[in-house]
Amino acid sequence: MLELRPAEGSDVSAIDEFDIFLGDRLAEIQRREIIVAEWDNTIAGYIRLHRDFFAKPFIALLVVKDGFRRRGIAESLMKYSEELCTKDERIFTSTESYNIEMIRLLDKLGYKPCGVVDHIQKESEIFFSKVLRLP
């Protein structure tokens, strides 16, 4: 029912149907930063994991399509991304302070707040990290 896989260039139009974030998804796909979730052959969500943040694994984007939420898709995408970090001690992400859904998800998965940055967007951006393995 749910399949997670690296995105391909041909997924861009399906992603565009529900994408809410700025950025060049095709370029990110070509850099192999995007994982998609397919639910019964529908692209129902994606996550972007990159290493441009102090060379640390950083989850920059995560979206699940309306109508497919609260089925565990975001949780599965987060866990899949964590499993890609086979040699990393920590993984990082951030979200705006009002994003209760994302903050609850991060809390459920064991992420802890590690800093707040203002003036990026209207609301404060809260950074989170999770220990994947001990040094």
Ligand X SMILES: CC(C)(COP(=O)(O)OP(=O)(O)OC[C@H]1O[C@@H](n2cnc3c(N)ncnc32)[C@H](O)[C@@H]1OP(=O)(O)O)[C@@H](O)C(=O)NCCC(=O)NCCS
Interface with ligand X (CB under 6 A) = 20, 61-64, 69-75, 95, 99, 101-102, 104-105, 108
Whole-angstrom CA distances from 31 to 4, 7, 27, 63 are 17, 10, 6, 19
Q: Which is nearer to ligand X, 29 or 102 (CB)?
A: 102
By beta-carbon proximity to ligand X, the closer residue of 68 and 134 is: 68
Least distance (Å) from ligand X to the CB of residue 44?
8
Nearest to ligand X of 95, 129 (CB atom): 95
Shortest gap between Cβ of 108 and ligand X (angstroms)?
4
Residue 121 token pair: 């967007």
Instruction: Read off the tokens for 90.
Output: 């920590």
The angle formed by the CA atoms of residues 44, 45 and 48, to the nearest 5 degrees, is: 160
**Smallest gap from residue 72 Cβ to ligand X (A):** 5
Residue identified by tokens 């890609």 is: 84
